[in-house]
Amino acid sequence: MPAGETTSTKDSAAPEPVGWVAAILTGSGESGRSRVCEIVWLDAELFGGADPLELVAVTEESYTHLSDKLGQEVAPGLLGENLVLREMNFALLSLGDKFSIGDAKVQVVSVDENTVRFLLLEEGLVEPGSPVARVAG
């Protein structure tokens, strides 16, 4: 290898992201609204100890669509969501599909055009910008 060149440390077997985490919402803040988190360890305790834990996700586009329809801005958490995802097409999801979201692993348990419910399979670190990638098995 010529001097000054480096090899890539990126895992070539890593799955291609199908979306990204835009925001993580938990519980209620002081105003009674959902609290937007910068980084979380995604586990059942974070959401009141529910077991098994189901997470509700929406897309950023869902906010835009609903805001346009209502004629006012939609506050985060209004739809009961825990995750806001960017660049993810829910129409391409099927029941049972498995994904990594950051370091956590989830499985699709229901999906419609505006929301998807994931079952948390494996705890992990998640933050805005974390990739969402389909995983095998």
User: Could you tell me which of 15, 27, 40 has the C-alpha nearest to residue 127?
Assistant: 40
Q: ∠ CA(58), CA(77), CA(18), 5° rounding?
A: 20
Structure tokens at 60: 């950023």
- Whole-number pLDDT of residue 8: 39
- Whole-number pLDDT of residue 27: 62
Q: Fill in the DSSP letter of residue 75.
A: P
Tell me which residues of the chain have a pLDDT lower than 50.
1-11, 28-32
pLDDT tens-place string over residues 92-118: 999 999 999 999 999 999 998 888 999
